[in-house]
């Protein structure tokens, strides 16, 4: 019975985290929405994870890094939904952080949106990602999901790079 008191305490720790998902270094977030035949993924990646700095590019090398990150993220093949669902990717939308000159900022995120059209969305059971291979500094993606089967959450890591439900 004490276990349940413990559960309640842990609820206390777990739930506020959802209210304001902070910006944590090395950690990105992924929102997965399934609505009819559309599967949309919204990825939020700290700029630091992508390129190693969190400000405007200061030289050509840094500019190239930003461009490379943008290009890597623009490939929808980073995410692979359940093959049986027959999902076709639409072009990804990448939103790079804007900087006001060289003013230091606290945090900057890259927002990427991926859209899929799925022939048999009922077969959707998972999304697997290869993003950890492209971005070595990323060690965790906190994923949240909403779909016809309900809501859920999961944690993607280089070792378990798939969200299943």
Partner 1 sequence: MKAVLRLAALSAWSRRLTLGLTLIAIALAVTLLLAVERIRVDARQSFTQAVSGVDLVVGARTGGVQLMLHAVFHAGTASNNITWDSYRAIATHPAVDWALPLSLGDSHRGFAVLGTSADYFAHFRHGDKEELRFRDGKAFTGVFEAVLGSEVARGLGYRLGDAITLSHGLVERGAEHGDKPFRVTGILAPTGTPVDRTVHVSLESITALHLDWVGGAPLPGVTIPAEFVAKFDLRPKEITAALVGLKQRSDVFRMQRFINQYRGEALLAVMPGVALDELWQSVAMVERTLLAISALVVLVGLAGLAATLLAGLNERRRELAILRALGAGPGQIFVMLTAEGALVTAAGAALGLILLTLGSGLAAPWLLERFGIVLATRLPGSQELALIGAVITTGLLASLVPGWRAWRMSLADGLTPRN
Q: In sequence order, which residues have a C-beta less than 8 Å from that of residue 163 and are 6 or more positions away? A: 30, 32, 126, 127, 128, 143, 145, 154, 156
Strand partners, 79: 129
34 binds partner 1 (CB under 8 A): yes
16 binds partner 1 (CB under 8 A): yes
Round to whole Å and give the CA distance between 53 and 116: 31
> From the CB of 80, what's the least distance to partner 1, in Å?
20
Q: In sequence order, which residues have a C-beta less than 8 Å from that of residue 81 and are 6 or more positions away? A: 39, 87, 116, 118, 124, 126, 127, 128
Segment near partner 1 (CB under 8 A); pick from 57-65, 76-84, 121-129, 153-161 = 153-161
Identify the H or E element spanning 32.
strand 27-35
> From the CB of 27, what's the least distance to partner 1, in Å?
14
Looking at the Cβ atoms of 31 and 62, the one nearer to partner 1 is 31
Which 86-105 positions form the footprint of partner 1 (CB under 8 A)?
none
148 binds partner 1 (CB under 8 A): yes
Maximum Cα interatomic distance, the chain, rounded to a whole number of Å: 61
Strand partners, 34: 39
> From the CB of 9, what's the least distance to partner 1, in Å?
8
> From the CB of 98, what's the least distance to partner 1, in Å?
19
Site of interaction with partner 1 (CB under 8 A): 1, 3-4, 6-8, 10-20, 31, 33-35, 38, 40, 42, 144-148, 150-155
């Amino acid at each position: 019975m004490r276990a349940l008191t413990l559960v309640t305490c842990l609820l206390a720790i777990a739930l506020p985290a959802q209210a304001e998902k902070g910006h944590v270094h090395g950690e990105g977030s992924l929102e997965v929405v399934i609505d009819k035949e559309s599967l949309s993924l919204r990825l939020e990646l700290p700029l630091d994870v992508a390129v190693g700095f969190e400000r405007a590019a200061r030289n050509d090398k840094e500019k190239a890094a930003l461009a490379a990150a943008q290009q890597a993220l623009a490939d929808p093949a980073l995410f692979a939904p359940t093959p049986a669902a027959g999902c076709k990717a639409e072009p990804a939308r990448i939103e790079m952080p804007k900087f006001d000159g060289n003013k230091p900022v606290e945090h900057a995120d890259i927002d990427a949106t991926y859209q899929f059209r799925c022939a048999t969305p009922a077969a959707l059971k998972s999304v697997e990602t290869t993003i950890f291979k492209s971005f070595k500094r990323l060690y965790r993606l906190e994923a949240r999901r909403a779909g016809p089967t309900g809501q859920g959450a999961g944690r993607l890591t280089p070792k378990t790079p798939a969200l299943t439900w």
